[in-house]
Amino acid sequence: DFPAPAILTGVSGSGKSCTLLHRAKRLAQLYRERVLIVTLNPSLADLLRTMFQRLPDSAGLRVEVFSYYDYVAALLTHTGLDGVLRLLNCFADVSHAIEQFRSRFTATALGQLLQCRNEVQLRDTWDEFTTSSLPEQSRWNEMSRLEVFLHSQQPNLDAASYIREEFDLIRSGFRIRDGYRGYIEGYPRTGRSIALQENRRQPVLNLLKEWEKWQLAKGVQDQMGLTQLATLVVEDAGELPRQLRYRAVLVDEFQDFSTLDLALLSQVPTRPENGLFLTGDFAQKVFPKEMSVSAVLGQNRSRRRITKNYRNTQQILESGTLLLQAYPIPADADPESHVLRPEYAEREGPRPFVCQTVDPVAAAWAYVADRLDAGYSAFSVCIATAAPKLMSVETILNQTPANLKAAQLTGSYILDTEIVVVSELADIKGFEFGLVIVVGVEDGVFPDLRSAEGERWRDALRLYVAMTRARDELRLIYRSSPSPFLTAMWTTLSPLMVEIETRVSATDDAGRISPPDSEAVADATVLNGRTVVKIPYEPTQDDLARALGTTPVQIANYAYPLGVFPTAITRFAEHNVLAIFEKFDVIPMFVRPAQRVDTTGRVSRFRAPRPTVKNEIPAHRCQQCGRPAIPGDSICYSCS
């Protein structure tokens, strides 16, 4: 129990979310009042809701789970659209934008203004704002002057994206009702690498006001715009509505919130004891927002830490730690941030593979198919794109092999175990998978050459977050030249050059690939002096144990060095069966499953090609010791 707000920080995979869920259950049982769990990502909120419902004895408890902006939408809807617009017009000159908004939308569509858009929609809206202005419009003049200045600091900078991030920084710590007073004079702009003197900041504010008016006229609000509206409503009313208050509030991934978001959430608990509980990890803070816990809670708070990682293998965590060391968070980026050094788990596995191939998406699907053949459940596999503009989620989904099912990541992914998950890199925070495959980790692509050079540590953190979602296996795929993030971890990776081919395979109705022909040894019990043992194609751990006259535990011990961590339902791929049989000096004879025939007498077959790995060649090996060497070099770090 905590008499004041409590903060639990922990390394990736330390069990923070699990702790939060069990604490929510305990508080709901203790107080018999409503308890709120909130996080920023809607998909993660769905996952937390599903996981809580699976806790023993959780039925009937008054625990509600919201994404933060769903909660904000409920607050603004309670106030009403007219009330929200009236307040906004009191503190910002937006009367003309309100008139345009009302004239463009029907009464039923007006409420959409208060709903949060996803990042793809907001990205498109921003692109329209920055490209549709005319030379005589004030925003064209402000944008042009700012772009000229920013390009003088870094010629290849994506100035529009940098300005949008600056807008988020401003609105995460300052209020629209004060005209964002405090930003121009003396504000340190922590985490920003391009200095803006005071005479440069006024044009930024002018353009921000144009952006806010433009959004309102279009019937759109970005996330920080909704935060500003919610802050206006609460400060005008003096308190939150009674129906939106809870006995306790538990916030997951609190490092992603802004100072104003945290200020609003701190008013939700009805009593201070056990009222506010925050969990997070500063090593996963990737957004350029101001987030000051001290400004909201002061020093009257309790802290706890968890440093043991229970999710990742030592090999995956070693690579991730090396990346953080190469791209550390600058000391002045966030004075309150303290990145914890993880204690490695005792579990070991294969090194992360870094794969060069001409077709990264096809390679990703080839590896997915291979691991599913080896016994992975589809929902435990995730393909994440680090380059959504070049390899979007939609593009990856469109290349799904015909025998597989795939969908974009949602919080309910664990409810359908037959679907492979595809996501953008930033969206898998808080999730966990057996295998994560990251595509687009290419030099010049990730990090984007047009991003601010002094802030590329944010992309390194995004990659670190994605890597540490992988429980057992990790593959990082690039096309021609590896990202500098990969070269920073090179000594801990297993580099491969991968050749992909596509083929059409015969299958049964269930979509299983027909096994290799084994008629040559069908009647044999001994072949070349070695015993031949029948084994079902894709056998389970128990099948192998029975065939070899040993125990499932012994089979598991042989499987671990192969990168397979079997359960009772794991099915072993052919190459793993061959490796295990070799240990017993025995030859397997795969028994073909009976082919299912349709009413016309034809065997079912794939109607679309399936990519497969044709060849894997270890790449960039040291000529002296054989260990991985940096691309372009002939020796490794140790030998040099």
Please indicate, yes or no, whether residues 539 and 488 belong to a single structural domain of this protein. no
| pLDDT, position 112 | 78
Q: Which of the residue ranges 97-111, 273-287, 434-448 would you say has the lowest mean pLDDT?
A: 97-111
Determine contact, residues 608/502, Cβ cutoff 8 Å: no
Please determine, for residue 614, whether its predicted confidence score (pLDDT) is greater than 90: no
| pLDDT, position 505 | 40
% of the chain surpassing 90 pLDDT: 57
| pLDDT, position 529 | 63
Total domains, the chain: 3
Q: State the CATH number of the domain containing residue 256.
A: 3.40.50.300
Determine contact, residues 323/460, Cβ cutoff 8 Å: yes
Give the highest mean pLDDT range of 345-359, 434-448, 517-531, 546-560: 434-448
Please indicate, yes or no, whether residues 451 and 563 belong to a single structural domain of this protein. no
Mean pLDDT of the chain: 85
Q: Across residues 326-337, what is the average pLDDT? A: 76
Final residue before a domain boundary, out of 503, 535, 552: 503
**Residue 129 included in any domain:** no
| pLDDT, position 378 | 93
Q: Which of the residue ranges 41-50, 349-358, 522-531, 573-582 would you say has the lowest mean pLDDT?
A: 522-531
Separation CA 50–CA 502 (nearest Å): 38
Please indicate, yes or no, whether residues 488 and 354 belong to a single structural domain of this protein. yes
Three-class SS of residue 113?
Answer: helix
Determine contact, residues 15/310, Cβ cutoff 8 Å: yes
Our CA angle for 579, 472, 337, nearest 5°, is: 155
| pLDDT, position 75 | 95
Please determine, for residue 332, whether its predicted confidence score (pLDDT) is greater than 80: no
Q: Which amino acid is at 612?
A: T
Domain range for residue 430? 315-333+347-503
- Could you give phi then psi for residue 143, rounded to 5 degrees? -60, -40
| pLDDT, position 204 | 95
Per-residue pLDDT band for 316 (boundaries 50, 70, 90) equals very high
- Could you give phi then psi for residue 607, rounded to 5 degrees? -105, 0
**Residue 218 included in any domain:** no
Please determine, for residue 599, whether its predicted confidence score (pLDDT) is greater than 60: no
Q: Which position has the higher pLDDT, 617 or 144?
A: 144
**Residue 199 included in any domain:** no
Final residue before a domain boundary, out of 456, 477, 503: 503
Per-residue pLDDT band for 122 (boundaries 50, 70, 90) equals confident
Please indicate, yes or no, whether residues 351 and 499 belong to a single structural domain of this protein. yes
Q: Which position has the higher pLDDT, 492 or 139?
A: 492
| pLDDT, position 522 | 36
Separation CA 306–CA 359 (nearest Å): 40
Query: How many whole angstroms from its chain centre is CA 110?
Result: 32
Q: Across residues 209-228, what is the average pLDDT? A: 92
Please determine, for residue 554, whether its predicted confidence score (pLDDT) is greater than 80: yes
Per-residue pLDDT band for 274 (boundaries 50, 70, 90) equals very high
Please determine, for residue 187, whether its predicted confidence score (pLDDT) is greater than 80: yes
% of the chain surpassing 70 pLDDT: 86
Q: Across residues 223-239, what is the average pLDDT? A: 94
| pLDDT, position 336 | 64
Please determine, for residue 84, whether its predicted confidence score (pLDDT) is greater than 50: yes
Please indicate, yes or no, whether residues 305 and 320 belong to a single structural domain of this protein. no
Please indicate, yes or no, whether residues 420 and 564 belong to a single structural domain of this protein. no
Residue with tokens 């070899």: 548
Please indicate, yes or no, whether residues 453 and 373 belong to a single structural domain of this protein. yes
| pLDDT, position 121 | 83
Please indicate, yes or no, whether residues 424 and 360 belong to a single structural domain of this protein. yes
Residue-wise pLDDT for 465-476, tens only, equals 999 999 999 999
Per-residue pLDDT band for 166 (boundaries 50, 70, 90) equals very high
Q: Across residues 8-23, what is the average pLDDT? A: 94
| pLDDT, position 509 | 42
Which residues make beta-bridge pairs with 615?
Answer: 499
Please indicate, yes or no, whether residues 572 and 543 belong to a single structural domain of this protein. yes
Q: What is the dihedral of CA 87, 76, 160, 193, to 10 degrees?
A: 90
Three-class SS of residue 538?
Answer: coil
**Residue 402 included in any domain:** yes
**Residue 150 included in any domain:** no
Please indicate, yes or no, whether residues 478 and 364 belong to a single structural domain of this protein. yes
Q: Across residues 226-241, what is the average pLDDT? A: 95
Final residue before a domain boundary, out of 553, 573, 591: 591
Residue 96: CB atoms within 10 Å: 11
Please indicate, yes or no, whether residues 544 and 427 belong to a single structural domain of this protein. no
Separation CA 289–CA 191 (nearest Å): 9
The secondary structure of 599-629 as a DSSP string is TTSPBPB-SS-EEEEEEEEE-SB-TTT-SB-
**Residue 640 included in any domain:** no
**Residue 489 included in any domain:** yes
Please determine, for residue 442, whether its predicted confidence score (pLDDT) is greater than 50: yes
Q: Across residues 444-471, what is the average pLDDT? A: 94
Residue-wise pLDDT for 254-267, tens only, equals 999 999 999 999 99
CA distances, 310 to each of 11, 265, 345, 492 (Å) = 10, 30, 5, 20
Task: Encode 286-304: b = buried (16+ Cβ within 10 Å), e = exposed.
Answer: bbbbbbbbeebbeeebeee
Longest Cα separation, the chain: 91
Determine contact, residues 350/563, Cβ cutoff 8 Å: yes
Three-state SS string over 270-335 comes to CCCCCCEEEEECHHHCCCCCCCCHHHHHCCCCEEEEECECCCCCHHHHHHHHHHHHHCCCCCCCCC
Residue-wise pLDDT for 45-68, tens only, equals 999 999 999 999 999 999 999 999
**Residue 541 included in any domain:** yes
Please indicate, yes or no, whether residues 473 and 370 belong to a single structural domain of this protein. yes
Q: What is the dihedral of CA 564, 463, 227, 163, to 10 degrees?
A: -160
Determine contact, residues 140/206, Cβ cutoff 8 Å: no
Structure pTM?
0.77
Question: Which of 593, 581, 580, 582 lies closest to 537 in space, CA to CA?
Answer: 593
